[in-house]
């Protein structure tokens, strides 16, 4: 299962996507800023969700708003 969150600030857009790794034994957070993506790997779902929450909180505190 994949969940993607997109945030906007003016014309700029960034996103984070949570997913299970291709091999099925890890979790990944794909962060895309200004068109450049990087993947952060986690061994537990709770660690992934904590990182996603922290990232989204910082973005929102800096004026980024959820798309949609």
The Cα angle at residue 58 between residues 16 and 50, in degrees rounded to 5: 60
The whole-model pTM stands at 0.91
Beta-carbon neighbour count of residue 14 at 10 Å? 19
Average pLDDT of the chain to the nearest whole number: 95
Number of domains in the chain: 1
For residue 57, what are its two tokens?
Answer: 């909180």
Nearest 5°: phi and psi at 26?
A: -140, 175
Give tens-digit pLDDT for 20-43: 999 889 999 999 999 999 999 999
- Domain residues for the domain of 44 are 3-66
pLDDT at position 68 is 73
- pLDDT value of residue 1: 75
Give the model's confidence band at 18: pLDDT under 50 very low, under 70 low, under 90 confident, else very high: very high
């Amino acid at each position: 299962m994949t969940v993607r969150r997109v945030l906007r600030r003016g014309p700029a857009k960034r996103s984070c996507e949570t997913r299970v790794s291709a091999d099925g034994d890890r979790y990944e957070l794909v962060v895309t800023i200004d068109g450049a993506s990087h993947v952060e790997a986690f061994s537990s779902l709770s660690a992934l969700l904590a990182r996603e929450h922290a990232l989204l909180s910082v973005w929102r505190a800096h004026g980024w708003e959820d798309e949609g």
